[in-house]
Structure 1
Amino acid sequence: MLYIFGHKNPDTDSVVSAISLSYLKNKLKGDTIPCVLGDINKETEFILNYFNVNKPRLLENVKTQIKDLNYDKIISINPRNTILYAYKLMEKNKLKVLPVVDDNNKLLGLVTMKDIAMELIKGDVYKLKTAISDIVNDLDGEELVKIDDEIEGQISVAAFYYNTLKDDGILNKNSIVIVGDRYDIIDYAIKCNVKLIIVTGNKTLPSKYINKGIKEKVNIISVKNDTYTVSKLINQCNYVSSIMKDNNIIKFNENEYLDDVKEELSQNRHSNYPVVTDDNKYLGIITRRHILKPNKKEVILVDHNEYSQSVNGLREANILEIIDHHKLGDIKTTTPINFRNNPVGSTSTIIFNMFMENDIKIDKNIAGILLSGIISDTLLLKSPTTTDIDRLAVKKLNTILNLDIEKFAMNMFKAGTSLEGQEIDEIFFKDFKEFNIGDKKVGISQVFTLDIEDVFNRKNEFLSFINDIHNNGKYYLTLLLITDILKEGSYLLYKCDQGALINVAFDTKGEQGIFVDKVVSRKKQVMPKILEAMDIIK
């Protein structure tokens, strides 16, 4: 699965770019999911509802999880399978461990080759609890009389004379008797109502003993192996649940992060660890081998190319492609990737042209959100970042939609710029970006609104908040741009370590709340002015 997403504090262009690019990739036989890195704003919500497009999935991080690993899909067994069945399965598939699961595939325990070996050395060789059908299967036998499905009792190898067995009272109702073609002992065992008689050597048992077994309700089976071999194998016909480990099993949920798993593995010496779902369903087995060479989540970035603006854990992911219209950032890759960076007003414009290049028809809802993305990022084509390429894209997209663009844009801006009921931190972080300039950190928030009065009614609260963010984040400059769409300019609220910076950058007195005409673009106007001013006042 390939994740496509824009930057943190998503704006309309980043959200619709992710949705539209995912749609395009999937049309080209890809398997992608559009995502967002935070709550969508009111403008974007208005657009998605208007064009009936689903919200993208919220993506918290792209850290490597257990489910990203190519863990081994080792087969599992049922607790009522036998030890011998487990051994043969492990031998055939060259396995050292088998998970034991219930009928709903929920993990019950583990059995290892070591457990089987220790059972042969230290186990109770006289105790047996298993299904008759399993004994028949494991010992290549045949049912002669079957009264019970399951047998539980003590194993006795009939090596004594008939009189010794009788005089010593060795056989009873709990006995499981292993015997050859010694009919006197078979007859006596039936009279004792033993649990089971296993006749060895593939000998034909006369029908009278079979009939007696039926009458006395004694289970009888015949096997091909001799008495010695059967006596060695019979206790391995026990249920595997009798030796499986079911306490303090170290297992990992598929959603756990690799970093957390590594820490736990460093404290344990086991070789194999089960992987389970949230409801404990077994998925597979991981080993240290899988963790040393993990798979990474695959991602495509749109509308950004800086680590500080991207998803948590991005350094752990495999970046396949970047589609952006901002300056080059600090993201690095270990292999070549598709990196499309065009000087246009909107990432949506670039993606529209990708549709054209691939000759993919644009559905009406995708055309609508692409048009909205361009309108949003270029302020209805009034931003200085706007290019003829953006204008042409809007024109072509509207041939699909036939919208009154002016009216639609005003409704969109009105829905998106209302600050009613929003807290100061919510407004500030709605579209906040961090930039690293040498050893200095600059944080710039931008709010597009038609409700300027609401901001200035809370001017002192905004300044106090900006001051806290500035000090806590150790920024060189913390700036809030309040952009008036109709007046085509921005008001400035800020905190800066160099008091003259704002004066020099915007050729103004630098008063709090000062209006700067024709400054509406953080990327095209504000950042270049700040960079230039920082060079001047070094």
Structure 2
Amino acid sequence: MSTENVRHINIIGHQNPDTDSICSALSYAWLKNGGSLMGKYEARRAGHVNRETQFVLKHFGIEPPRLCTDVSPQIKDIDIRHQPGIDAEMSVRAAWNMMRDVEIDTLCITDAEDELQGLITIKDIADANMDLFDTGVLAAANTSYHNLLETLEAELIVGDADARITEGHICIGTSPEIMEELVKPGDLVLVSNRYETQMCAIDCGAAAIVVCCGSAVPRTIVARAQEKGCAVLATPYDTYAAGRLVTTAAPVRHFMRTHDLMKFSVNTPIEDARKIMASVRHRYFPILDENGKYCGVVSRRNLLNLHRKRVILVDHNERTQAVDGLEQAEILEIIDHHRIGTLETSGPVYFRNVPVGCTATILYQMYQEQGVTPSQQIAGLLLSAILSDTLMFRSPTSTPQDEATARALAEIAGEDIPSYAEQMFEAGADLTGRDAEDVFRSDFKAFSRGDAKFGVGQSIYMTDKSRAAAEALVGPFLPEAGRREGLPMIFYMFTDMKTQSTDLMYWGSHTEEIVRDAFGVEPKDGVAVLPGVVSRKKQLLPPLLAALQARQGE
């Protein structure tokens, strides 16, 4: 199988990805591909790379994964018919023969660079053939003599095959008496083997004569044609057949559709394509590749043979945190360290959920199980994820296994944990040039419990000053964030890593009462101070969920 036909399996973390989400996707892809970030398994990201993660990737010289916010099926996920494009100069006759031979009713016209020029359908050809009175079509279409020779299977006796028909009409020569009034200078005349009609057509100023029935052309006719500048073609077809065929020598560009073409990109969602296809009558539609070049056609029938996107989820198993279109994708694996949430799969999957502080810790277990040592770069990514998720082992979610794993990875990566962690956290806390939305989305997740839906964000800071600046920036944005996310409640943690405390801000109906019930504190000016609370997963979510459940039961 060529590399072009290999269907990638996307390894992807949650929306608004944090360092663990990005680094775990990259590290698992490296393991799955046998020591390479390139291959069948591809790491993807479901949102913007925050500043902490940007620092990590730059520090270890790794490019961010490509963005993927929707795994709904696209045109690229069906069997596209790779029908080659045709040249605009191809004759209508040749196009019709091709349609018949390959059993297709639409051909796409492309240039030498595979740029789509237009398309022609069998209906367009039928309409052209039924226009019996268009005797000037060859001139109007600037038809080449090459096309004429090919269509009539003719031999060129006199003339230039590279010349074009630029004027005149098509006539059938019967007798000299009629021809003298019928034939005009520049016309194309179909003649029989009668010497008189051949000579008369030439003398009337015909641009070309077509001698039918495979008749030999006398030398005197050849000489006269050369003298008058008249092309002479000899065809094996009789006059009737030649008369039927001759107009089909016109190039397809004269009849092709060029305006408002119904075409799709390989990235067009299937649902969008299906709606458009239902609005028009023809069957086949051109497809453009990632570079906008023609690459084939697709029909309604192709939409039935759909290959769902295949994904591996890391660092989440909540539907509200996943990329769009997940219900239309095939989930192969889930590697996570969070509570088991609302996600459903269509069949059994490999699901590895371990109560540790970071997904990267689980991945390193898998490296060891397979007898694989990560490279210095990948070890650095895994280390960064663990330091980030466990707040350098200060978080209550951190386990001895996380710390032991981080120290082993630090040896491979060649990093001093305290020094490197401080650089990483400082980079993440830097507010220079950032707006409220950027800071808000740096680590934000949506959750649901029963009928209640809410979001929890968290930012981690090394100093009181940077934390206060972030609160002043993000606090006024919370109502707008709730509207944009479509969530009735927002909670946001501003965590000071050195003092091991969190300022919790909130927005939404009854959120102040929920915070009061959950943590037993009295908020002041829209902020609840939570000493010792640093973990969203272990210290914030359980009390919040309990308070929400209690209110639902009232």
CA spacing shift, 1:284–1:458, aligned 2, 3 Å: closer
Q: Which residue of 1 aligns with 2:170?
A: 155
CA spacing shift, 1:400–1:345, aligned 2, 3 Å: same
Among candidates 55, 62, 67, match of residue 64 of structure 2? 55
Deviations 1:363-389 (A, max 9, x none): 211111111111111111232222333
Deviations 1:196-250 (A, max 9, x none): 1212222333344334333332211222222222222112222223333334433
The CA deviation at 1:436 is 0.6
The CA deviation at 1:531 is 3.2
Among candidates 535, 539, 542, match of residue 521 of structure 1? 535
Q: Which residue of 2 aligns with 1:484?
A: 496
Q: Which residue of 1 aligns with 2:302?
A: 290
CA spacing shift, 1:357–1:140, aligned 2, 3 Å: farther
Judge which range, 452-461 or 259-268, deviates more.
452-461
Among candidates 46, 62, 66, match of residue 55 of structure 2? 46
CA contact (8 A) 1:440 1:475 kept: no
Q: Distance in 2 between matches of 1:281 and 1:426?
A: 36
Q: How does 1:24-173 map to 2 (within 5 A)?
A: 24-27=31-34, 30-124=39-133, 126-127=135-136, 128-129=138-139, 130-147=143-160, 149-152=163-166, 153-160=168-175, 162-165=176-179, 168-173=180-185
Deviations 1:380-432 (A, max 9, x none): 12322223332332233223223221111122222222345544444333222
CA spacing shift, 1:279–1:218, aligned 2, 3 Å: farther
1:309 partner amino acid: Q
CA spacing shift, 1:135–1:477, aligned 2, 3 Å: closer
Judge which range, 488-497 or 369-378, deviates more.
488-497
TM-score in terms of structure 1 length: 0.89
The CA deviation at 1:93 is 0.8
Secondary structure of the equivalent of 2:169?
A: strand
Secondary structure of the equivalent of 1:531?
A: helix
Secondary structure of the equivalent of 1:87?
A: helix
CA spacing shift, 1:363–1:498, aligned 2, 3 Å: closer
Indicate whether 1:448 and 2:460 are aligned. yes
CA contact (8 A) 2:429 2:466 kept: no
2:71 partner amino acid: V
Deviations 1:305-346 (A, max 9, x none): 122212233333333322211111212222333322222211
Q: Distance in 2 between matches of 1:30 and 1:284?
A: 25
CA spacing shift, 1:472–1:271, aligned 2, 3 Å: closer
CA contact (8 A) 1:110 1:246 kept: yes
Q: Which residue of 1 aligns with 2:29?
A: 22
CA spacing shift, 1:514–1:191, aligned 2, 3 Å: closer
Q: How does 1:206-245 map to 2 (within 5 A)?
A: 206-245=218-257
The CA deviation at 1:139 is 2.2
Could you say what the CA RMSD is over the residues aligned between the two structures, in angstroms?
3.0
CA contact (8 A) 1:446 1:480 kept: yes
Deviations 1:270-315 (A, max 9, x none): 3333334688643333322234554443332211112221223333
Q: Which residue of 2 aligns with 1:7?
A: 14
CA spacing shift, 1:267–1:353, aligned 2, 3 Å: same
Q: Distance in 1 between matches of 2:243 and 2:86?
A: 25
CA spacing shift, 1:458–1:222, aligned 2, 3 Å: closer
Deviations 1:183-203 (A, max 9, x none): 233233333442112122223
CA contact (8 A) 2:92 2:249 kept: yes
CA spacing shift, 1:358–1:184, aligned 2, 3 Å: farther
Deviations 1:489-517 (A, max 9, x none): 33333357275544553354555655434
Judge which range, 144-153 or 434-443, deviates more.
144-153
CA spacing shift, 1:218–1:425, aligned 2, 3 Å: closer
CA spacing shift, 1:151–1:358, aligned 2, 3 Å: farther
Secondary structure of the equivalent of 1:126?
A: coil
How many residue pairs match? The answer is 535
CA contact (8 A) 2:288 2:294 kept: yes
Question: What percentage of aligned pairs have identical amino acids?
Answer: 32
Secondary structure of the equivalent of 2:387?
A: helix
CA contact (8 A) 1:419 1:451 kept: no
Secondary structure of the equivalent of 1:151?
A: coil
Q: Which residue of 1 aligns with 2:5?
A: none
Judge which range, 96-105 or 48-57, deviates more.
96-105
The CA deviation at 1:88 is 0.6
1:14 partner amino acid: S
The CA deviation at 1:480 is 2.3
Q: Distance in 1 between matches of 2:456 and 2:534?
A: 13
Secondary structure of the equivalent of 1:435?
A: strand
The CA deviation at 1:89 is 0.6
Judge which range, 477-486 or 230-239, deviates more.
477-486
CA spacing shift, 1:74–1:123, aligned 2, 3 Å: farther
CA contact (8 A) 2:439 2:474 kept: no
Deviations 1:61-92 (A, max 9, x none): 33433344333223332222111111111111
CA spacing shift, 1:138–1:164, aligned 2, 3 Å: closer
Secondary structure of the equivalent of 1:143?
A: strand
CA spacing shift, 1:179–1:399, aligned 2, 3 Å: same
The CA deviation at 1:138 is 2.1
Q: Which residue of 1 aligns with 2:393?
A: 381
Deviations 1:9-68 (A, max 9, x none): 221111111222222333378423322222222211221111111122233433433344
Q: Distance in 2 between matches of 1:263 and 1:453?
A: 54
Q: Distance in 2 between matches of 1:51 and 1:185?
A: 86
Q: Distance in 1 between matches of 2:30 and 2:91?
A: 51
Q: Distance in 2 between matches of 1:45 and 1:316?
A: 31
TM-score in terms of structure 2 length: 0.86
Judge which range, 66-75 or 503-512, deviates more.
503-512
CA spacing shift, 1:158–1:381, aligned 2, 3 Å: same
Among candidates 245, 266, 269, match of residue 281 of structure 2? 269
Q: Distance in 1 between matches of 2:198 and 2:30?
A: 76
CA spacing shift, 1:150–1:8, aligned 2, 3 Å: same
CA spacing shift, 1:252–1:448, aligned 2, 3 Å: same
Secondary structure of the equivalent of 2:182?
A: coil
CA contact (8 A) 1:418 1:450 kept: no
CA contact (8 A) 1:296 1:317 kept: yes
CA contact (8 A) 2:190 2:212 kept: yes
CA contact (8 A) 1:13 1:347 kept: yes
Give ranges in structure 1 of 5+ residues lacking alignment: none
CA contact (8 A) 2:262 2:286 kept: yes
CA spacing shift, 1:483–1:245, aligned 2, 3 Å: closer
Q: Which residue of 2 aligns with 1:497?
A: 510
1:334 partner amino acid: S
Q: Distance in 2 between matches of 1:267 and 1:414?
A: 55
Q: Distance in 2 between matches of 1:247 and 1:514?
A: 61
2:495 partner amino acid: T
Indicate whether 1:258 and 2:270 are aligned. yes
Q: Which residue of 1 aligns with 2:327?
A: 315
Secondary structure of the equivalent of 2:362?
A: helix
